Amino acid sequence: MKLAAFFLALQQTTVEAKSAKPWRVFHAQKQNSKRTTLTAADNNRILRQQKNAFENDESEDKIVILDWWGGTPTRKRITKHECPETACYVTNDRSYEKEAEGILIDNTRFIQHHGDDHPDLENRNQNQYWIFWAREAASKGVNAGGKIMQGAWDSGFNMTTSYRRDSDIPRPFGSKNEAIRNARYKNGELIEDDETHIENIMKYKNPPNTKYAAWIVS
Residues 125-184 have pLDDT tens digits of: 999 999 998 887 777 767 776 777 777 888 889 999 988 889 898 887 777 788 778 878
Q: Per the domain annotation, does 155 fall within a domain?
A: yes
Q: Per the domain annotation, does 215 fall within a domain?
A: no
pLDDT of residue 1 exceeding 60: no
pLDDT recorded at residue 99: 94
Q: Per the domain annotation, does 117 fall within a domain?
A: yes
pLDDT recorded at residue 101: 93
59-100 pLDDT tens trace? 888 999 999 998 887 889 999 987 776 789 999 999 999 999
Q: Per the domain annotation, does 105 fall within a domain?
A: yes
Among candidate residues 65, 56, 54, the one with its CA nearest the CA of residue 97: 65
CA dihedral 162, 98, 109, 21 (to 10 degrees): 80
Q: Per the domain annotation, does 197 fall within a domain?
A: no
What domain range includes position 50? 2-174
Mapped to the 3 state alphabet, what secondary structure does 29-72 carry?
A: HHHHHHCCCCCHHHHHHHHHHHHHHHHHCCCCCCEEEEECCCCE
Q: Per the domain annotation, does 47 fall within a domain?
A: yes
Q: Per the domain annotation, does 55 fall within a domain?
A: yes
14-62 pLDDT tens trace? 555 455 556 566 666 766 665 667 888 998 999 999 999 999 999 888 9
The number of domains in the chain is 1
DSSP three-state, residue 142 = helix
Contacts for 172 with CB less than 8 Å, ≥ 6 apart? 163
Say how far apart CA 51 and CA 195 lie, in whole Å: 45
Q: Per the domain annotation, does 181 fall within a domain?
A: no
pLDDT recorded at residue 2: 58
